[in-house]
Amino acid sequence: MLELSTRVRYGTRALVQLADAHLGQTLSVNDMATAQRLSPKYLERIMAALKHAGLVRAARGITGGYQLTRPPESVRMTDVVAALEGPTCVVTCVKEPETCAMHEMCPTRDLWGTIQGALDGILAGTTLMDLVTRKRQKAAEQPATYCI
């Protein structure tokens, strides 16, 4: 079954947290891991991959941590998935037809291509800013809780 890895899911959550922070604010891995309920060690490996892809930069020192390298409006989910998992591929023959001797006459290849196109379109059409907006909307919809 098609399933995104935990690296993609957790990495996306961390990037949304960075994107939602004040412009240029640096967040530590420990703070992000606590907020995301993740192991700091695991999140550090994810952040290293995002840094290698050029999506975040690291700052050292007592106020060190990570920050986005680009505005959230310009970071597409295709960038995030590619950085953490590589290119999406529903079925190999869709992107590499020569891998299947039946690719020209296969009755299912068109279906897989349609699914691949839809997935790629959704990822390319979604930015970190879109996810930040969704996060803020969900937070605003939460009922207030009062404790006495």
pLDDT tens figures, 97-148: 888 888 888 889 899 999 999 999 999 999 999 999 999 998 888 776 776 7
What does the alpha-carbon distance between residue 55 and residue 1 come to, in Å, rounded to a whole number?
Answer: 28
The strand pairing partners of 59, in sequence order, are 65
In the prediction, which pLDDT does 63 show?
A: 78
Query: Is the pLDDT score of 79 beyond 70?
Result: yes
Establish if 145 belongs to a structural domain: no
- 88 closest CA partner among 98, 97, 77: 77
In the prediction, which pLDDT does 80 show?
A: 97
Instruction: Report how many domains make up the chain.
Output: 1
Establish if 139 belongs to a structural domain: no
What is the pLDDT confidence band of residue 25, given thresholds at 50, 70 and 90? confident
Establish if 147 belongs to a structural domain: no
Establish if 137 belongs to a structural domain: no
CATH (domain of 119):
1.10.10.10
What does the alpha-carbon distance between residue 78 and residue 53 come to, in Å, rounded to a whole number?
Answer: 12
In the prediction, which pLDDT does 1 show?
A: 62
User: What is the tens place of the pLDDT at every residue in 38-70?
Assistant: 999 999 999 999 999 999 999 888 878 999 999
Establish if 148 belongs to a structural domain: no
Q: Give me the chain's average pLDDT, please.
A: 90
Q: Which domain holds residue 26?
A: 6-129
- 7 closest CA partner among 66, 47, 55, 40: 47
